Structure 1
Amino acid sequence: MTLTSILPRGHREPPTRRRTQRGFTPADPLGALAILSAVAVVALWVMNQGGPLGLTTPDRAMGSLGQLTGLLASDLMVLQVVLLARIPWVERAWGHDLLTRRHRWIGFASFWLMIAHVALFAAERVLRQPAAFLEALVRLFVTDSWMLFATVGTLLLIMVVVTSIRAARRRLRYESWHLLHLYSYAGIAATFPHTFTDGADFHETWTRVYWWCLYGFAFASALLYRIALPAWRSLRHRLRVESVHVEAPGVVSITAEGHRLDRMRTASGQFFIWRFLDGPGWSRGNPYTLSASPTDDRLRITIKAAGDGSARAARLTPGTRILIEGPYGTLTARRRTRPRMLLIAAGIGITPMRALLEDTAYAPGEATLIYRYGEEEHAVFTEELRAIADRRGVELILLPGPRRANTSWQPAGPGHLGDDVQALRHLVPDIDRCDVYVCGPPAWIGAVRRAATAAGAHRDDIHTEEFAW
């Protein structure tokens, strides 16, 4: 293992600053509102179904519990849509990574509630008509009002959930997975009508108003922030490819020029969803992080070929039109509360770190970058990083070599620095006074987070961005 340090930290002692206590943020009411919506659903069920008092016979119990699980599944489906509707203040409050994880957890909870809903109603029909249960099930899933749509919608949602399981995602290209995931909107829409025609909880006017408002808010949010706002920004800022530069084998940087890009208030560390209008497949967007600080008329991203969409980037030509969604992400200098910065990156995860290093406010000796990569030929931005380090007084630590183990963040080799915790303490003795920014593969990020916490960093001072889908 080779350890290269450029401009070691000087003896200047940075000013001590206490970690800012977390105050009220827009994130605080979000969880409460989500819980309140589920409580409201249960309250509606109790008022309309009689709650536990209505569970007097086996078939009534199955039907009533089926109604409850269906209502909760619908509520969580709406919440899923809202979480990833790209609502700006929601994105800023929680961060895209956290929203994505919670979207996934809520999705699986909604799925199992939906399965319980279907199974309980099927059991109710069988109990009521044991001698003609096949006919009863056909009516339930096919011939009753809007039930065929609901059945098709349920099958679509099952397909989406199955392809979202980690083992299944590994076998799919990102573009294929993303296309299949969009069918969840069709599935939700198909299951929507039967709730109003068949659900007992929708017979009261005020109950209908509640659900119409809930569905309407989710639909309007998705329409406004997933379609209308990105379309308006793309038309207004008129982004085009200015240049394509090869950084390493399979890695290219794309510089895009546009009009009044400062109006988007983009910060280093954020990402956009990019669509290059270069031919078939343009409609499938890909998330790429800025690899240089944004300017009034230019944005730069750096892409590693990992699928059809990213591989096409090397073939882009100057002048190609670009559609964008964003900016998203909270891996920015706005999260700083500590006197020092420690940036740790692996592989292509160096892209947001290079941008952060370039324009974040810090004095010489207050920033350290640890960059881990497999082979020298795959290292990205090493010359640019050295230039920034020389100019701004950054301690630059390069750690080349294959990863030591799946549970370690360090490279393998005879010159390693002990276990993960010892290595961090050796390289950054005052890690407890640092904001720690981490970007790379999920498992590697987990190893860094564990080591940094054990070495003395506060968990609230560790900021991450996963390069995964």
Structure 2
Amino acid sequence: MNETLSATAPLPQTHLRPRVRGGASRAGARTVRAALVLGVIVVLGMWWFTVPNGFAATPADALTSIGELSGMVGGFLVCAQVLLIARVPWFERAVGLDKLVSWHRSLGASVLFLIVVHVLFLVFGGELLDKNPPWTEFVSILQSYPDMITALVGTIAFLVVGLSSARLIRAKLSYEVWYWLHLTTYVSIFLTFFHQLSGGAHFVSQPWNRVLWIALYLGTASAVLTWRFILPTLDAWRGRMRVAAVVPEGEGVNSVWLTGPRVESLGVRAGNFLLFRFLSWGHLGTAHPYSVSAVPADGYLRITVGEIGDHSSRLPALKPGSLVFAEGPFGRFTADRASRPRILLIAGGAGIGPIRALAEDLVRRGARPVVLYRARSPRHLALLGELQAMPGVTVVPLVGRRSELGYDPLDVEPLRRLIPDVHDWEAFICGPEGMGERAETSLRALRMPKRFIHREELSMS
């Protein structure tokens, strides 16, 4: 543990391909951001050119106008939020699914805020105008405008979905419950759409606004149907696989070997993940994201999964021959992002699966990576033997609970002792969220630039 690794021989930099996360990626992200900003500007224009002259003449008018504007912007951002994770190929190539998911989460908070502002300001504006108490005004709005009951149901569903993604609540929900709650988002959008056209002051008598709004929602629905459902279903059927074997790798960690005639044509790279749906009892309801721990070869592919939820805990019960549908591959946690000559891989828990595949790919590219393997006990060191047997890979197990060790092996000082010149390295981190945050914080404190820290969390929610 006290031995340092700074004397590791430099890696042949000419063997490492240029990092994908460069100008093209940043340009793609900027383009998507610009498109979102442009969309908001168009919505603001739709509101501005159709708002009455006295839209802020009284407090009641001002509150009502703000409520209408927040509803319109919120309606646009709902579509943008759905499009970000609709698996539109251009978005994924330009930005990457990991970043799209992050943007989707961030927009969710904005959408919830705008929905609440929309409802409250319309009620308060009507309260001031009609001299009614808030509850009476709320009921009056429901009764006075068309499609308001369905809009109320859809709004409540939106709020439930949004709250289910809050960190404290999400931690108490199984992936299956969270997944099915989020599917109701599509129903919520449908329920809230019609009141915008039938009761919205900026749509009822504004044909161009109606056309643009209908086109926005139809375009979003078409993208979701095409790239989220129809094409993935066809691809999953053509690339269907079967379970070949389930192999225990360590305490709470199992590998699932999959085989199929088109496994090697999926285009899976080390570090990618796919969405797997096993046609077996207890697995039919959801498709779960699992990273590959061995890229396709000789007709076989392997995933290594930690038992961290209901779905993953039932994987050992899979029977050989069970049918499997896979969607993907996804992710940019891949070796072609590496550009520095010395590579540090940090793994924890089930994160050892993608790290193991990544180490093999890096070796194949001429690198000699160092793997820091964090585990609670020796029983949790899954795939350790495979890593140690790879030529050119140095494995450093960091074993023990923090309460037993008296420190965290991924804190600043332990990392500094292990690798004094770590600021000259490039890091790939995969594991539980807390471990990943700790490792990234320590590396930043040791002056490793953020652009050389690549991190993959074992979560899609």
Q: TM-score, normalising length from structure 2? A: 0.91
Distance 1:8 1:56, change over 3 A: closer
| Aligned counterparts of 1:88 and 1:264: Cα–Cα separation in 2 | 15
Letter in 1 for 2:22: R
In the alignment, is the contact (CA less than 8 A) between 2:428 and 2:455 conserved in 1? yes
Amino acid at match of 1:55: A
Q: Per the alignment, do residues 399 and 145 of structure 1 end up closer, same or farther by CA in structure 2, a change over 3 Å counting?
A: same
Question: For residues 227-271 of structure 1, what are the alpha-carbon distances to aligned partners after superposition, in whole Å with 9 as ceiling and x for unaligned?
Answer: 112211111112111111111222211011122233332111011
Partner of 2:400: 401
Deviation at 1:28, TM superposition (A): 2.3
SS at match of 1:259: coil
Preserved CA contact (<8 Å) 2:273 2:331 = yes
Shift of 1:278: 0.7
Q: Distance in 1 between matches of 2:451 and 2:133?
A: 60
Bigger mean CA offset, 419-428 vs 282-291: 419-428
Q: 1:87 to 1:124 in 2, by over 3 A?
A: same
Residue 220 of structure 1 deviates from its aligned partner by 1.6
Determine helix, strand or coil for the equivalent of 1:290: strand
Q: In structure 2, what is the Cα distance between the partners aligned to 1:432 and 1:132?
A: 62
Question: 1:289/1:9 Cα in 2 relative to 1: closer, same or farther (>3 Å)?
Answer: farther
Contact 1:249 1:378 in 2 (8 A): yes
* 2:270/2:354 contact within 8 Å kept: yes
Secondary structure of residue in 1 paired with 2:322: coil
Q: Which moved more, 1:133-142 or 1:420-429?
A: 133-142
Which residue does 2:223 correspond to in 1?
Answer: 221
Name the aligned partner's letter for residue 227 of structure 1. Answer: F
Range with greater deviation from structure 2 (306-315 or 144-153): 306-315
| Equivalent residue for 1:456, pick from 442, 447, 452 | 447
CA distance 1:296–1:152, change in 2 (3 Å): farther
RMSD over equivalenced CA pairs, Å: 2.7
CA apart distance, 1:4: 9.2
> How far apart in 1 are the matches of 2:197 and 2:343?
54
Task: Write out aligned runs for 1:288-307 (5 A).
Answer: 288-295=290-297, 297-307=299-309
Mapping of 1:165-204 within 5 angstroms? 165-202=166-203, 203-204=205-206
Alignment counterpart, residue 29 of structure 1, candidates 28, 31, 35: 31
Matches within 5 A, 1:340-351: 340-351=342-353
Query: Which residue identity does 1:183 align to in structure 2?
Result: T
Q: What's the % identity of the aligned pairs?
A: 34
SS at match of 1:49: coil
When normalised by structure 1's length, the TM-score is 0.89
Farther-moved stretch of structure 1 (352-361 vs 289-298):
289-298
Q: Which residue of 2 aligns with 1:442?
A: 433
The runs of 5 or more residues in structure 2 that have no matched partner are none
Cα distance between partner residues in 2 of 1:19 and 1:88? 22
Q: Residue 69 of structure 1 corresponds to which residue in structure 2?
A: 70
Structure 1 residue 413: Cα displacement: 5.1
- Measured against aligned partners, the alpha-carbon deviations of 1:318-348 in whole angstroms (never above 9, x if no partner) come to 1111122211111111212222221111111
Higher alpha-carbon deviation: 360-369 or 68-77? 360-369
Code of the residue aligned with 1:23 in structure 2: it is G
Q: Secondary structure at the match of 2:290?
A: strand
Whether contact under 8 Å (1:259, 1:296) holds in the other structure is no
C-alpha change, 1:131 and 1:357, in structure 2 (3 Å) is: closer
Match of 1:408 in 2: none
Alignment length (residue pairs): 455
Partner of 1:332: 334
Contact 1:4 1:396 in 2 (8 A): no
The answer as to whether partners of 1:422 and 1:455 remain within 8 angstroms in 2 is: no
Letter in 2 for 1:235: W
User: How much does 1:216 deviate?
Assistant: 2.0
Q: Within 1, Cα distance between the matches of 2:60 and 2:356? A: 63
Q: Per-residue CA shift, 1:142-182, capped at 9, x if unaligned? A: 56211111000011111111221111112211211221122
Counterpart of 1:272 in structure 2 is 274
Equivalent residues of 1:9, 1:394 under 8 A apart: no
Alignment of 1:315-326 (within 5 A): 315-326=317-328
Please give the secondary structure, in 1, of the residue aligned with 2:440.
helix
2:252 counterpart residue number: 250
Give the corresponding residue for 1:412.
Answer: 405
Amino acid at match of 1:162: L
Unmatched segments (≥5 aa) in structure 1: 405-410
Q: CA separation in 1, counterparts of 2:11 and 2:207?
A: 67
Contact 2:431/2:457 (<8 A) preserved: yes
2:374–2:397 CA contact under 8 A, matched in 1: yes
Find the residue that maps to 1:326 and give its secondary structure.
Answer: strand
Task: Name 1:150's counterpart in structure 2.
Answer: 151
